[in-house]
Amino acid sequence: MQELTETNQPQPPLFVKLFILSIVAFQVISVVATFIVSPGYLIPFINNPVGRWIWIGALIWEIIGFALLYKFCPRNNGLAITAITLVTIVNAGPLTLTPMLGPAVVTIINALGPVMAK
Q: Does residue 9 sit within a domain? A: no
Q: Give the pLDDT confidence score for residue 64 in this predicted structure.
A: 92
Q: Does residue 2 sit within a domain? A: no
User: What SS3 string covers 50-112?
Assistant: HHHHHHHHHHHHHHHHHHHHHHHCCCCHHHHHHHHHHHHHHHHHHHHHHHHHHHHHHHHHHHH
Q: Does residue 8 sit within a domain? A: no
pLDDT band at 1 (very low <50, low <70, confident <90, very high): very low
The pLDDT of 47-68, averaged and rounded, is: 89
Residue 87's domain spans which residues?
Answer: 14-117
Q: Does residue 24 sit within a domain? A: yes
**Count of structural domains, the chain:** 1
Q: Does residue 39 sit within a domain? A: yes
Q: Does residue 7 sit within a domain? A: no
Q: Does residue 5 sit within a domain? A: no
Is pLDDT of 76 > 80?
Answer: no
The pLDDT of 23-38, averaged and rounded, is: 89
